[in-house]
Amino acid sequence: MTEPRQRSLLTVQDTEAFGRELAAELSAGDLVVLDGPLGAGKTALTRGIAEGLGVQGRVSSPTFIIARQHRAGARASGEPVALVHVDAYRLGGDLADLDALDLDTELTEAVVVVEWGRGVVEHLTERHLHVRLSRAADSEVRTAIWEWVR
């Protein structure tokens, strides 16, 4: 659909700023699949996306619950939209249906960001934004590669 884009993220602040930028191309019904190892910065990136979308509440790792919902708030540009932040780490494979998460938010009304979502949630939408974060050993630098995939 698009060429993969790539960027170096030198600090956690860079990763959050990248998330704010990504948010500008997201709207209701969009699915973002975050891929990358433990500590790669998936939650940090989600924090930036949440800031860019202007949603309410603080983003944290959904450790004990699988999904966290953030209500729409004031957005700098674009229609206000809710955020559903899912951690699929403990889902253990395929998620047949996001209904299984028992969310109050309609997915068509939210941006859905799924950590560890690769191979689990892609079938839920016609297209998704795939973001892969990788980390170098012994440094804070992360590399993001992202593209819209059908």
Please choose which of ligand ATP, Mg ion, none residue 40 contacts, taking the beta carbon within 5 to 8 angstroms, the exact cut-off set by kind. Answer: ligand ATP
Q: What's the CA gap between 68 and 9, in Å, rounded? A: 26
Kindly tell me which residue out of 81, 84, 105, 115 binds ligand ATP, with binding defined by CB under 6 A.
115
Strand partners of residue 86: 67, 114
68 binds ligand ATP (CB under 6 A): no
Count of residues near ligand ATP by CB under 6 A: 18
What is the token pair recorded at 120? 């689990």
Residue 128: its H or E element: strand 128-135
Per-residue binder mask for ligand ATP (CB under 6 A), 27-66, x = binder: ---------x-xxxxxxx----------------x-----
Kindly tell me which residue out of 12, 17, 124, 145 binds ligand ATP, with binding defined by CB under 6 A.
12
Q: Is the dihedral of CA 74, 53, 43, 103 positive or negative?
A: positive
Per-residue binder mask for Mg ion (CB under 5 A), 38-77, x = binder: ----xx-----------------x----------------
Q: What's the CA gap between 136 and 105, in Å, rounded? A: 37
What is the token pair recorded at 22? 């990504």
Residue pointed to by tokens 């560890």: 116
Rule CB under 6 A: which residues touch ligand ATP? 9-12, 14-15, 36, 38-44, 61, 115, 140, 142
